[in-house]
């Protein structure tokens, strides 16, 4: 693979675009790419207030899976997983996508029932899923402590073998390079500060680099979506929280799968470079500061040590946080809004990295056609008034 000197140009904004995407994270870049690739729409700008891939796309723990409970979720996340399976080749960039298997541990009867039910639901939806008992868990991941004397003994686990991890910054850079090659303008250091709405239609965005006219405006701004939507007069049912993660010092290979536990509350994988990558739940308060409380990290470490006593002398190298946009049913919001030409893709909360290609695909379709992609339709904003919620708290509880 040969790289040009730069992966993308650094253009100045033009006065007008057919589509303006707000947010240069994974979802914004994937949407731009699929607008060009699938719909031939290239007069597009992605406006990013900071630098490309400085947000959650490069702050997440990169867990990829599709084993969600409800039909609507399984369909969209499985669509995404299938795209991941061909994405390195398609983007001509090694995304280090590694389908090493994701375990969701069960520590009590409630977990066991939920896990078994989800395995059955997944299989009915064509999503690969297995139930492992404690011995099988130990065989699959020998360093897990499955002792019956543990505070929360391991009673079994769901396993999705096709799940795994990828290298997040490569994902963003690869999508950016392809979008740029289609002629899409990726504009960094350009904060959207407001929207011009004429009648019921959005006609332009106001930015720190001036007014930019837009045929359509599409938010892909993750933790800042509710703030931006409010500037267009739309109130969204989203809460923004810090979500922290950490990495250890570099270690020899010792963990070749992804392990998640809702009950002790941690998820762990080992990145290609050798560091253990860990995360847990959100910090409970609302915030836009990309940092969090040390007590959350302490709880996450305690959980990790309970599952993996072998980590007891490993040192933490670095911790950080991203701001995640959490919806009331732990499912995303994708689609049109009451303002014509103004679209949202948000609410992916703690688990949207895995959806990056699938989300971009359905969002691009929704923007291009002006009607929701069939996979996106159930995730419309109006479900919070119709009551047709897609409650994924069980599958998304510990995040991811």
By CB under 6 A, name the binding residues for ligand FAD: 22-28, 47-50, 54-57, 59-63, 191-192, 220-222, 224, 228, 243-245, 279, 322, 324, 348, 350-354, 400
Tell me if 335 sits within 8 A of 380, measured CB to CB: yes
Cβ proximity to ligand FAD: between 144 and 220 the closer is: 220
Residue 320: CB atoms within 10 Å: 15
Tokens linked to 78: 């499985």
Tell me if 280 sits within 8 A of 300, measured CB to CB: yes
Q: What is the dihedral of CA 109, 112, 114, 118, to 10 degrees?
A: -170
Q: Which residue is nearest to ligand FAD (CB)?
A: 25
Cβ proximity to ligand FAD: between 116 and 209 the closer is: 209
Residue 398 beta carbon to ligand FAD: minimum distance, rounded to whole angstroms: 10
Distance of alpha carbon 40 from alpha carbon 241, whole angstroms: 36
Distance of alpha carbon 42 from alpha carbon 394, whole angstroms: 39
Distance of alpha carbon 133 from alpha carbon 302, whole angstroms: 24
Tokens linked to 389: 């919620």
Residue 244 beta carbon to ligand FAD: minimum distance, rounded to whole angstroms: 6
Residue 98 beta carbon to ligand FAD: minimum distance, rounded to whole angstroms: 13
Residue 400 beta carbon to ligand FAD: minimum distance, rounded to whole angstroms: 4
Residue 50 beta carbon to ligand FAD: minimum distance, rounded to whole angstroms: 5
Tokens linked to 258: 């992804």
Distance of alpha carbon 289 from alpha carbon 299, whole angstroms: 20
Residue 250 beta carbon to ligand FAD: minimum distance, rounded to whole angstroms: 20
């Amino acid at each position: 693979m040969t790289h040009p000197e730069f992966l993308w140009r650094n253009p100045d904004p033009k006065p007008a675009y057919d589509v303006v995407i707000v947010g240069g994270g994974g979802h914004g870049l994937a949407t731009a790419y699929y607008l060009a690739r699938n719909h031939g729409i290239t007069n597009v700008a992605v406006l990013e207030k900071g630098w490309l891939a400085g947000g959650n796309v490069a702050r997440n723990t990169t867990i990829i899976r599709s084993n969600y409970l409800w039909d609507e979720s399984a369909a969209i996340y499985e669509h995404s997983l299938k795209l991941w399976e061909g994405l390195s080749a398609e983007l001509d960039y090694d995304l280090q996508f590694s389908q090493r298997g994701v375990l969701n541990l069960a520590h009590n009867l409630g977990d066991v029932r939920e896990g078994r039910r989800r395995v059955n639901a997944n299989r009915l939806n064509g999503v690969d899923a297995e139930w492992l008992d404690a011995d099988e868990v130990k065989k699959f991941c020998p360093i897990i402590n499955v002792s019956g004397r543990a505070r929360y003994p391991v009673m079994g686990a769901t396993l999705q073998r096709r799940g795994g991890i990828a290298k997040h910054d490569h994902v963003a850079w690869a999508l950016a390079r392809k979008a740029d090659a289609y002629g899409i303008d990726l504009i960094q250091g350009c904060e959207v500060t407001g929207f011009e709405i004429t009648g019921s239609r959005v006609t332009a965005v106001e930015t720190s680099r001036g007014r930019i006219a837009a045929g359509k405006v599409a938010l892909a701004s993750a933790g800042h979506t509710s703030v931006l939507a409010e500037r267009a007069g739309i109130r969204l049912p989203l809460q923004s929280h810090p979500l922290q993660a950490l990495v250890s010092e570099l270690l020899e290979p010792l963990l070749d799968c992804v392990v998640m536990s809702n009950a002790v509350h941690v998820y762990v994988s080992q990145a290609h470079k050798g560091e253990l990558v860990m995360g847990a739940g959100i910090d409970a308060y609302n915030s836009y500061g990309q940092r969090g409380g040390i007590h959350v990290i302490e709880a996450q470490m305690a959980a990790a040590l309970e599952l993996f006593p072998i980590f007891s002398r490993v040192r933490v190298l670095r911790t950080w946080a991203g701001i995640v946009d959490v919806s009331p049913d732990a499912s995303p919001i994708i689609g049109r809004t009451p303002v014509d030409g103004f679209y949202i893709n948000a609410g992916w909360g703690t688990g949207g990295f895995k959806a990056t290609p699938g989300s971009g695909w359905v969002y691009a379709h929704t923007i291009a056609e002006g009607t929701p992609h069939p996979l996106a339709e159930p995730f419309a904003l109006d479900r919070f008034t119709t009551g047709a919620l897609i409650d994924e708290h069980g599958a998304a509880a510990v995040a991811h």
